[in-house]
């Protein structure tokens, strides 16, 4: 692509481009093709005749080989650009540079995004820990939170995962083939314990790095006691999921749901908490 030349002109009959320096034949054939150039002439629809276009290809003796039609301009836009070029107010090189910049912006926007499996801890029929005062449980809290996280993540594709059974969960996640896994939970103990922690598999260095990023974001937002990241073996609570997902996995325990003050702090700004998760997920996507 880099050795192709750019041309600006009007499409005329018989697959030709009329430029300010003359006409060139447009062919899709490469310059070293053995076939006649006529066999690969660019087919121009009748409604496009007379339109201004930008093309690129390899020019040899009046024939533009390996031609690529970059842009067909509306008649008014094309006429305006031709006038500007004739008056020296814009050059083909400037048009080419603008198009290159635009193509780079488009590639940046559509580049493949990392996939995060966002697991909603527990399930409707087995909702996990709850708060006695409000009746709110882990599943209901994290289901709502997961939807907000998905809306707020900017650089990462989010796929929410619901648990069928705990034993099937790792295989369900692995079938999705994500780049990393974040499982949403809430801690519980005696109604008084407080703080934020993130769990990771003890043999996973990437898991540890993910846990550090998520712990920092959640702790900074909630401002609760920093219970730090915790490495877990297969036998520990949550260890089965951490061990048997193929992608690095962490379990978030941002607060104690049975502690009224912890829960109040989390519920006070659920949008902000979701934003902290989303920011962490976007940051994690850059390191996995």
Measured CA to CA in angstroms, residue 140 lies from 81, 135, 143 at distances of 58, 10, 5
| Mean pLDDT value of segment 13-41 | 84
pLDDT class of 2 with cuts at 50, 70, 90: very low
Instruction: Indicate the domain borders of the chain.
Output: 5-110, 114-285
Task: Report whether pLDDT(1) > 50.
Answer: no
Average per-residue pLDDT for the chain: 89
CB 137 within 8 A of CB 130: yes
Task: Report whether pLDDT(31) > 70.
Answer: yes
DSSP strand pairing (156-162 vs 114-120): parallel
pLDDT class of 283 with cuts at 50, 70, 90: very high
User: How high is the pLDDT of residue 19?
Assistant: 84
Task: Report whether pLDDT(106) > 60.
Answer: no
| Mean pLDDT value of segment 217-236 | 97
Give percent above pLDDT 90 in the chain.
61
pLDDT class of 111 with cuts at 50, 70, 90: low
User: How high is the pLDDT of residue 179?
Assistant: 97
User: How high is the pLDDT of residue 44?
Assistant: 80
pLDDT class of 149 with cuts at 50, 70, 90: very high
Distance (Å, rounded) from C-alpha 249 to C-alpha 244?
9
Give percent above pLDDT 70 in the chain.
92
Task: Report whether pLDDT(232) > 70.
Answer: yes
> 5-110 adopts what CATH topology?
OB fold (Dihydrolipoamide Acetyltransferase, E2P) (2.40.50)
pLDDT class of 10 with cuts at 50, 70, 90: confident
CB 186 within 8 A of CB 253: yes
Q: What tens digit of pLDDT does each residue of 171-185 get?
A: 999 999 999 999 999
Extract the runs of DSSP E, i.e. beta strands, from the chain.
Answer: 5-12, 16-19, 22-26, 52-60, 63-72, 114-120, 156-162, 180-184, 196-201, 226-232, 249-253
| Mean pLDDT value of segment 275-288 | 96
The architecture in CATH of the region 114-285 reads 3-Layer(aba) Sandwich (3.40)
pLDDT class of 89 with cuts at 50, 70, 90: confident
For 223, left (φ over 0), alpha (ψ -120 to 50), or beta? left
Q: 174: which 2 tokens?
A: 């692995």
| Mean pLDDT value of segment 244-259 | 98
| Cα-Cα end-to-end distance for the chain | 32
């Amino acid at each position: 692509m880099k050795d192709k030349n750019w041309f600006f002109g009007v499409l005329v009959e018989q697959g030709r481009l009329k430029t300010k320096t003359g006409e060139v034949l447009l062919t899709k054939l490469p310059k070293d093709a053995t076939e006649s150039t006529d066999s690969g002439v660019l087919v121009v629809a009748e409604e496009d005749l007379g339109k201004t276009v930008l093309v690129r290809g390899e020019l040899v003796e009046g024939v533009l080989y390996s031609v690529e039609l970059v842009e067909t301009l509306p008649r008014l836009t094309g006429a305006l650009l031709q006038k500007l070029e004739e008056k020296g107010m814009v050059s083909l090189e400037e048009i080419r540079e603008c198009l290159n910049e635009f193509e780079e912006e488009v590639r940046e926007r559509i580049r493949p995004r990392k996939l995060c499996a966002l697991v909603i801890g527990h399930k409707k029929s087995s909702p996990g820990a709850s708060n006695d005062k409000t009746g709110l449980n882990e599943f209901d809290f994290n289901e709502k939170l997961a939807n907000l996280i998905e809306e707020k993540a900017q650089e990462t594709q989010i796929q929410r995962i619901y648990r069928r059974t705990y034993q099937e969960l790792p295989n369900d996640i692995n079938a999705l083939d994500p780049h990393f896994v974040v499982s949403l939970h809430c801690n519980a103990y005696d109604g008084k314990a407080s703080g934020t922690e993130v769990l990771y598999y003890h043999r996973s260095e990437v898991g540890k790095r993910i846990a550090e990023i998520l712990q920092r974001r959640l702790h900074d937002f909630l401002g609760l006691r920093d219970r730090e990241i915790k490495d877990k073996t297969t036998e520990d609570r949550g260890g089965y999921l951490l061990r048997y997902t193929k992608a690095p996995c962490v379990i978030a325990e941002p607060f104690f749901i049975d502690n009224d003050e912890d829960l109040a702090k989390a519920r006070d700004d659920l949008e902000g908490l979701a934003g902290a998760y989303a920011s962490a997920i976007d940051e994690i996507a850059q390191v996995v």
